[in-house]
Chain A
Amino acid sequence: MDGPDRFVSFDRVSKRYGAAVWAVRDLDLTVAKGEFVTFLGPSGSGKTTSLMMLAGFEQPTGGEIRLDGRSLRDVPPYRRDIGMVFQNYALFPHMTVAENIAFPLTVRRQPRAEVEAAVRRALDLVRLGGMAERRPAQLSGGQQQRVALARALVFNPPLVLMDEPLGALDRQLREQMQIEIKHLHERLGLTLIYVTHDQGEALTMSDRVAVFRDGGLQQLAPPLELYERPASSFVAQFVGDSNQFAGRVVRVDDGLCLVELDGGWRVTAAAAGGIAAGARTTLSIRPERVIVSDAGDPPENAGPAVVEELIYHGDHVRAHLATPTGQALFAKVLSGTGHGWLRAGAPVRIGWQARDCRALDPLPDHAGQEQ
C-alpha cells in the first residue's frame, strides 16, 4: 500500500486532551510525493495539532502517522528529517543569518566547506545573498520569513511543513511570498504541507486542500473542486463567498434535485452525496453565479427580487437582493458594463443554472422546520 501516493499518511489519527477534548479525531489523510497540500480551517479545527503530530511535537493519542512507509510513532522530532517553518519564524536571534541557515548542517556535522557552499546556495535561492552576516533583528518581516524558509530547505528534507508562515506579513508581501513559495515547490519538487486559515491562500497555492473542522476532515480536494463542488455547507461557507438558503428536498433525480425553499420558492440544484427526498437541506450558490437581469428571465430557476443595496468594489458591484419568498442573497455583477437599471430599490429578475447551485447538508440554523 505504500507508494509515492502515500508518502505521508494519517491513519485514524486522534489527539485527545484530558478525557473529553478531542483536538483531532479519527483523521485519515494521505499526501503524495511532490504534492502541495494545505490544511485549511478555522482556529481550533485541528489543523495545527495535526501538523505538530507530524513534526513530532505532539504525540497522537491513537492511530498511526507514516512518512515514506515508516511509522513515526517512536521517531523523535530530530530524526524525522522534516523541514519546518514556524508561524513566528523561530529564527535564532543570537546567530547571524548564515549561522541560522547553517544550523541543520552543523548539527549533522557536515564538513565546513560543504556547509558554506550549501548556505550560499540557500541564500541565493531565497534572494538574500548580501544578508549573510546580519542578525534576524536587522531584517524585515519578509526577509526573516525567507531566512526561515532557507533554513528549512537547506538540508534537503523530503518533507517541508509550514505553520501559517505568512500570517505576520502585510497583504502585498504575503501575496509575493505565496508566489515565491509556490515557485520553490515547483522548482525543488518538494512535498509540502502548509497550514493556514486564509482560504484565498489555500486556493491559490495548493495542489489539494484539506478543510478541517472540529478535529475532523471535511473535504480533501483540489481547489477547483473545493470551490465548485463543496462537499458540505461548512466548506461552501468557509471557502469563498456563498449565498445559503434553507429548504426541503422534494425529489432527487439523477444528480439533480428539486428543493422547496422556506417561503415556497421551488428551485433545482445539483445534489451532493447523501441528499434524500424529504430531508432538510442548505442550498449554496456563489454570488458570481447569480444572474441578475432587468427584463428577460435567466434560463433556469428564475424569480423576482428587489435590489436592496449596491456596494461598489471597483472591478465588480455587489448587489444585495431580497426575494418575495424571504431569501436574502447577494450577487457580484461585473462593473463598467453599463447596468443603468441596476440601482437600489429596482425590481429585477434573478436566477442561476442548476449545476451552479448545490444542495448540501443543512447548516445548524437551517435544520429546523420552516417558519
Chain B
Amino acid sequence: MAAGTVRAPAGRSRFRLRLGAWLLILPLFLFAAGTFVIPIGLMLVRSVQDPDFAAAFPRTAVALAAWDGRDLPPDATARTFLAELQAARGGDRISPAATRLNADLAGFRSLLLRTARNARAVGEDGLGTLAAIDARWAEPGLWAAMRRAAGPLTDYFLLAAIDLQRTDDGSIAAMPETRAVFVDVFIRTLWIGFVVTAFCLVLGYPVAYLIANAPARWANLLLVVVLIPFWTSVLVRTTAWVVLLQRDGLVNGLLRWSGIVEQPLALIYNRTGVLVAMVHVLLPLMILPLYSVMKGIGPSPMRAAMSLGARPLEAFARVYLPQTRAGIAAGALLVYISAIGYYVTPELVGGGGDQMISYFIAFYTNRTLNWGLAAALSLILLLATGLLYLAYARIEVRPEAGK
C-alpha cells in the first residue's frame, strides 16, 4: 500500500487548495444569492402562488376546493363565506382578496366590498341571503372565479400572461379579445428586439472594423467615442433624444430649415423614436464584442484570400465574415437580450403602441400590485432569454466540437 501512503498527502493538499478556492468565491456567491437569486426566485414563485383569497377566507377556500365546481356551491359554503365576510369586514385582508378576484372578473371588487358591508349572519339559506344583497351571487361564474382564487397554487397568472384562462368548467380557453393583450405585447417586444439588433449589426459592424483596423492612435480615440455614451446613463441618453427628435427639436428644425420637409415629422412618441433611441443606447454592446473579435483577426487572412485570387468582396464574405461569427453572435445576443428587457427608453420616447413587456411588468408591480401577473410575465421573459442563450451556446460550441 505504498501508493496509498504516497497519495494521501497529495490528496489532502489538493483538498485544502479546493477549499481555499471555495472560500475565495464565497463572498461573491453569498452576494449573488442574497441580492439576485433569492429575490428573483421569490418573485417568480409568486407567478404560481395565489394566497390572497385564502388569507381572507380560509374556511371558504377549503370548502370551495372541495366543491366540484358545477352549478352553485352547497349552501353551507355560502354560509361559511358570509360568516367570514363579516369577520373580515374592516380588516386589511379583504382588500387584496377583492383585488385578486377583480383581476379575474371585472366588477368583483366593488361587489365583494359592498356585500361585506351588508353581510349579516344567517342560520340557513346563505345563497338566498347573498342573492338578496346582490343578484349576481346567483351566477355560477362568480363562484367558479372564487374557486379559481382559492389557492394555494394556481395557473391563473401564467395562463393570463399568454392570454389564456380557465373557463368555469375548468378547461383552458382563449381570453376574450378585449382582454387579450400580452401575446401581442410579447410579439411586439421580440420584433422590436429583432429590428434593434439588425440595425445595431448593420451600423456597428463597419464601426468595429474601422476601429480594429485603424492605426493605434485613431483606434483609441474612436474607442473612447464609442465608450463615452456607453458610460453615460441610459436616462440621459434617452432624454437627449427627446431634445433632438421632438416636434420643435433639432432634427425637425434642420429638416425644415433645409426645405426637405414642410411639416415637422413625427419622430418621437412612436416606433421611430423607440428604434432610434434603443439602437443608439445598445450600439456599444454590439461594437465591443465585434471589435474584440476583429482585433484578433488582423489583416493577414484578407491579404491571404486576395493573394489567392479572391476579389475584396468575396474575400470578405468567405474569409473575414465567417471569422467574425463569434463576435456577431455575442453582440447580437447581448443587444437582443438587453433590448427585449428594455423599459426606460420605450417609456420615455415611445407611444402607447410601443410599450414592451417590461412596461407591463412594471405596471403590474407598481400600479395595480398584481404581483402574480407581473411574476408570470417576468417568468416568460426569463424563459425567452434562457432559450436564446441556449441557442447561442449551441452555435458557439459547434466549431470546436471536432476537437
Contact = CB atoms under 8 A, between A and B. Distances in A.
Interface of A: 55-57, 76-84, 86-88, 90-94, 103-104, 107-108, 134-135, 137-138, 151-152, 155
**Closest 9 pairs between A and B when the two form their complex, measured CB to CB:** A90-B304, A104-B308, A84-B307, A90-B300, A107-B310, A77-B306, A94-B322, A78-B306, A107-B309
Contacts of A103: 305, 308, 310, 318
B325 A81 contact: no
Interface in B299-323: 300-301, 303-312, 314-315, 318-319, 322-323
Contacts of A108: 309
B402 A78 contact: no
B323 A137 contact: no
Contacts of A134: 402
B310 A94 contact: no
12 contacts: A77-B306, A78-B307, A81-B309, A83-B307, A86-B300, A86-B304, A88-B300, A92-B319, A92-B322, A94-B323, A108-B309, A155-B308
B403 A137 contact: yes
A152 B303 CA distance: 13
Contact of B308 (A87, A88, A93, A151): A151
Nearest to B308: A104
A77 B403 contact: no
A160 B403 CA distance: 32
B303 A92 contact: no
A79 B311 CA distance: 9
Interface in B277-329: 300-301, 303-312, 314-315, 318-319, 322-323, 325
A78 B323 contact: no
Contacts of B399: 94
Contacts of A91: 304
A81 B323 CA distance: 25
B307 A92 contact: no
A155 B310 CA distance: 12
Given A135-B402, A138-B403, A78 B311 contact: yes
Contacts of B311: 78, 107
Contacts of B315: 78
B319 A55 contact: no
A84 B309 contact: no
Nearest to A93: B323
Contact of A107 (B300, B308, B402): B308
Contact of B323 (A79, A84, A92, A107): A92
The prevalent SS among residues of A at the interface is loop
Interface of B: 300-301, 303-312, 314-315, 318-319, 322-323, 325, 399, 402-403
Given A78-B312, A92-B304, A94-B322, 5 more contacts: A78-B307, A78-B308, A79-B309, A104-B308, A107-B314
Contacts of B306: 56-57, 76-78
* A55, A77, A79, A152: most-surrounded residue (chain B CB, <10 A): A77
B402 A92 contact: no
Interface centre among A57, A92, A138, A155 (most CB of B within 10 A): A92
A103 B322 CA distance: 14
A244 B307 CA distance: 43
Contact of A77 (B301, B303, B322, B402): B303
Contact of B303 (A57, A80, A151): A57
Contacts of B303: 55, 57, 77, 84, 86, 90
A83 B304 CA distance: 9
A78 B303 CA distance: 9
A204 to B, nearest CB: 26
Contacts of B308: 78, 83-84, 103-104, 107, 151-152, 155
A343 to B, nearest CB: 50
B397 to A, nearest CB: 14
A244 B13 CA distance: 60
Contacts of B402: 134-135, 138
B295 to A, nearest CB: 15
A83 B325 CA distance: 27
A77 B307 CA distance: 6
A139 B403 CA distance: 11
A94 B300 contact: no
Contacts of B304: 84, 86, 90-92
Contact of B309 (A57, A104, A135, A138): A104
Nearest to A77: B306
Nearest to B307: A84
Contacts of A138: 402-403
A91 B319 CA distance: 10
A266 to B, nearest CB: 55
A67 to B, nearest CB: 13
A57 B301 CA distance: 12
Nearest to A94: B322
A87 B304 CA distance: 11
A55 B303 CA distance: 9
B170 to A, nearest CB: 55
Q: Which of B300, B308, B402 counts the most chain A CB atoms within 10 A?
A: B308
Contacts of A56: 306-307
Contacts of A90: 300-301, 303-304
Contacts of B325: 94
B309 A155 contact: yes
B150 to A, nearest CB: 59
Contacts of A94: 322-323, 325, 399
Contacts of A135: 402
Contacts of A78: 306-312, 315
A87 B299 CA distance: 12
A165 B309 CA distance: 20
A93 B323 CA distance: 7
The CB with the most chain B CB atoms within 10 A, among A57, A91, A151, is that of A57
Nearest to A134: B402
Contacts of A55: 303, 307
A151 B308 CA distance: 8
A78 B315 CA distance: 10
Contacts of A151: 308
Contacts of A104: 308-309
Contacts of A80: 307
A108 B304 CA distance: 15
Contacts of B318: 103, 107
A74 to B, nearest CB: 15
Contacts of A77: 303, 306-307
A107 B319 CA distance: 12
B301 A92 contact: yes
B66 to A, nearest CB: 65
A93 B311 CA distance: 19
A153 to B, nearest CB: 11
